[in-house]
Chains A and B, each alone.
Chain A
Amino acid sequence: EAGVAQSPRYKIIEKRQSVAFWCNPISGHATLYWYQQILGQGPKLLIQFQNNGVVDDSQLPKDRFSAERLKGVDSTLKIQPAKLEDSAVYLCASSLSSSGSSAFFGQGTRLTVV
């Protein structure tokens, strides 16, 4: 079974630039999560999709972050404009449903804003 795929693996940008991350979840997984993990901390949920609808985006900084999930499969997360404090690993995860089944994580995208 293929895992959760994310790209790119690494990205370095200057502050105020834009960046986009891509995630392809495990086939058939209806729930997709984007997390932000700052060094030394646990992951923090940014947004959760159920199919192509948003379930929870309460911690997404909507003035600069946006996300979409086209056709309930792949998802993109965008930051525009980036700030220094956005430097983190962005993790995508998926699960079969939202009813508490195990979540599977991608390898993440490490973003450095300089």
Chain B
Amino acid sequence: KQEVTQIPAALSVPEGENLVLNCSFTDSAIYNLQWFRQDPGKGLTSLLLIQSSQREQTSGRLNASLDKSSGRSTLYIAASQPGDSATYLCALRPLYNFNKFYFGSGTKLNVKP
């Protein structure tokens, strides 16, 4: 069974710092992996979707990478801002059932002004 882990559970950084959020998974047979942002009391907002055949995706200050062989994905946030404070979740779809998402428990990011 696929397991998705996000470490650390919480992270606090000063404004302007570049940072990396980690997502690891146990089964490399994945269909795709998606990074979401969740603000308190809100739903999930999709940030980046990486297909199994891709190594990375970029959107603005965000860059997500995928390394299936090591079972890892990273979300890189450049020049962090207080508005980036939120919980970041990764979710993947396995090859054997690409209908189904497996979510990590998230990393709660606090960017201090």
B71 within 8 A of A: no
Interface range, B side:
20 to 34
Which of these, B43, B46, B103, contacts A102 with CB under 8 Å?
B46
Contact A42 B105 (CB under 8 A): yes
Contact A105 B101 (CB under 8 A): no
Q: Give the residues in chain B near A42, CB-CB below 8 Å.
A: 4, 89, 91, 103-106
- Supposing A100-B93, A102-B46, A105-B45 touch, asked if A41 and B101 sit within 8 A by C-beta, the answer is no
B99 within 8 A of A: yes
Contact A40 B42 (CB under 8 A): no
In chain B between 80 and 113, which residues have their CB closer than 8 angstroms to a CB of chain A?
89, 91, 93, 97-101, 103-106
In chain A between 17 and 72, which residues have their CB closer than 8 angstroms to a CB of chain B?
31, 33, 40-45, 48, 50, 55-56
Question: B: which residues have CB within 8 A of A?
Answer: 4, 31-32, 34, 36, 41-46, 49, 51, 89, 91, 93, 97-101, 103-106
Ordered nearest first, which 10 A-B pairs have the shortest CB separation? Answer: A42-B103, A105-B43, A105-B44, A107-B43, A42-B105, A98-B99, A100-B98, A108-B43, A100-B31, A106-B43
List 16 extra interface pairs beyond A56-B100, A99-B98, CB under 8 A: A4-B43, A31-B99, A41-B106, A42-B89, A43-B89, A43-B91, A44-B103, A48-B100, A56-B97, A91-B43, A98-B99, A105-B43, A105-B44, A107-B41, A107-B43, A108-B43
